[in-house]
Structures are given as C-alpha cells and as structure tokens.
Amino acid sequence: MNRRPEKPILRAGSPRPDGAGDLDHTGGDGPRGVVPASPATASPHRPWLAIVRALVRGYLRYFPLRNGKGWLYRQCQEKLLPPERHVVMRVRQGFRLRLDLMDPAQRQVYFFGEYDERHEIRLLTRLLLPGDRFWDVGANIGYYTLTAAKLVAPAGRVVAFEPGAAAWQSLKDNVALNPGGTIRLERLALSDRSGEAVLHRRGDIADGGASLSRRADYHQAAEVVTTTTLMAFLAASGEGPPDFLKIDVEGHEDDVLAGGAELLEGHSPPLLLIEMNDPARIGARLSRAGYHGVYLRRGRWRLLEDPLAPASRNVLWFRPDNPGHRERLVLTNLCA
C-alpha cells in the first residue's frame, strides 16, 4: 500500500475474545527458517523484555479503547522486537502469516494482530460470498488473498498477482501455511500492455510501496518484471471473470483499469476496491464506465459525491445498473 512511513500509522483493532492473533512460534521451523534481526532493532534476550512485549501486544490487540495506542506503539515497537527477524503468527482473521519484522507494515501486524486496513478487510467480509471469484492485484504478502480465500470457500476462487521477488516469496510462503484454499498465484504485474517493466522497490523486504513508477525519495532498488493486461490474462488463463477486484499497485491503478476496459464496461462487471493514488484519472475512467464510488470516513462507508476528488485512501466502486451490485450493497446496508 502507498504512503508507508518508517513507523506505520496506527489503525488499531477491536478486542478478539477467542485469542486469534496469538504468536504460534518464532523459530527455525517456518517456511524459510529464521534470519536474525538487525542489531539496531532487535531487543536482547532478557526474560523481562519477553513479559513486557507480551503485555504490550495484548494491550494493543485487545484493549477496547484506541486513545494512546499510537503513541505507545511508536515508543515501544523497536525496543520490544523479538531477536528473530521472521515470526509466524495467527492473525485476527484466523489464518497464519510469516512476518518479516524489518518491514514496518508487517511489524505492525505483529503487534496489533491485524492489517492496518481493518475497515477494508471488514468490508470484504460483508460483500464476498461463498463461490465468488476474487482477484487480488498487488497481493504483497497475501493478507487480502487469504482473507478472501476463507470467505469464498469452498467453491470460490482467488487469483493473486504479485511481481516483486521478495513479496512473491512471502506470498507463496503464507499461502503454503494455510492449505485448503483454492488460490492461484501469478508472478505478474498487471498493466495496460503486455511485455516487461521495471519494478522499483525499497531494499530486500516485501515492499508494499513497490511501484512501476519510481519515487526517488523512497525506492532504492529495481527489478525487471513481466506485465500483462486484465483482458489478456482472462483470455489465456481459463479463469472466469472476477466478481470482486482489489487493485493496489502504487500509482499504476489507472493503467490496470485501462487494460480491463471491456470487463468494466461489460454486462458482468466486478466490484472494485481501489487504492486512489490518482483520484482524477481513476474517477474519470470509472465514471465513464458507469461506476459509482463509496468512500470511508470515520469508520463508515459513504456514497462519493465527486468521483474526481480525493476522498479516502481506498474507494469501493460499484455499478448501480448491475442487479448483483445493488443487491449486495442493500443486503449489507453498506452506506447506512
């Protein structure tokens, strides 16, 4: 996702009575073993530190009031890191993830027990149905992928696209940790043309800010990746068209949409959850295709009045002329 600071912005979750989010293990029996954390960030082996770490993690995950959690996290997170760089834990949604604690976004999952886009994840639980086809464009380590796989099971299908080498390995590891879902992984970058492109990224982590558009103040490395379009993949893959399409590709979202124009304008368009890195271009394209937007404000989803103006980080797009879209929004009371 875009705008990942060095120390991630807090979006704490609500308490979980069943204990989901508890650490399964930190050790060498994960999918790729354990890599020691940087001495600058790892806390030393001290028994009292483990106790404090457990108390802070429990407070951040389960205490119902959020006031002050952001400050506490910023003060404590580096001091309370375990000595291992990689840990495997069960998150709020019930699946297991192998987390790289050198990545600020994954570190936050470790402390809070869930991804920072908690409202968007809950949106999936309201809109996805068993048997749906969900495509995750820009899957990163697989949080949306694995959430969707649980929701569309047993007859549904998830296709996850991730071109970056480090993120691709993490995605494969995390899917392997959660067998039983019908998930297809594709090491591809979706765009407006097929061929090759340069993916810019930060270091050797599964960078959620990796992009086909370079930011000099952020990106430090690059790799060549294979690109294709939504329509080309749909024609060649044998997959049915998606019912729900999530797109988070750090400024390249409009190019992905351009490569799927026929899908968006057809008789069975997908619901779209898009990170709005270029609101004017995305909004103009989707408005022409007949889509309307729903944006997030203060924890509630509201109808978007101006599709060209920035509203929230992620926007849900639907076609009001599509009976299936209308039915889902009405049944879930989405905009209430």
pLDDT of residue 310: 81
pLDDT of residue 335: 57
Question: Residues 89, 110: contact at Cβ < 8 Å?
Answer: yes
Its sign, for the CA torsion 150, 181, 179, 82, is negative
- Please give the residue range of the domain that contains residue 178: 118-331
Question: Residues 136, 230: contact at Cβ < 8 Å?
Answer: no
Amino acid at 273: L
- Decide if 80 is inside a domain: yes
SS3 105: helix
pLDDT in single tens digits along all 336 residues of the chain? 444 444 333 333 333 333 334 444 333 333 333 333 443 445 556 788 999 999 999 999 999 888 899 999 999 999 999 999 999 999 999 999 999 999 999 999 999 999 989 999 999 999 999 999 999 999 999 999 999 999 999 999 999 999 999 999 999 999 999 998 899 999 999 999 999 999 998 878 888 888 888 776 777 788 999 999 999 999 999 999 999 999 999 899 999 999 999 999 999 999 999 999 999 999 999 999 999 999 999 888 999 999 988 889 999 999 999 999 999 988 777 754
Which helix (H) or strand (E) is 195 found in, with range? strand 195-201
Amino acid at 238: G
Given 83, 112, 141, which residue is the final one in a domain?
Answer: 112
- Decide if 15 is inside a domain: no
Given 84, 112, 140, which residue is the final one in a domain?
Answer: 112
Residue 272 and residue 144 share a domain: yes
Question: Residues 52, 5: contact at Cβ < 8 Å?
Answer: no
Question: Residues 159, 171: contact at Cβ < 8 Å?
Answer: no
Residue 164 and residue 126 share a domain: yes
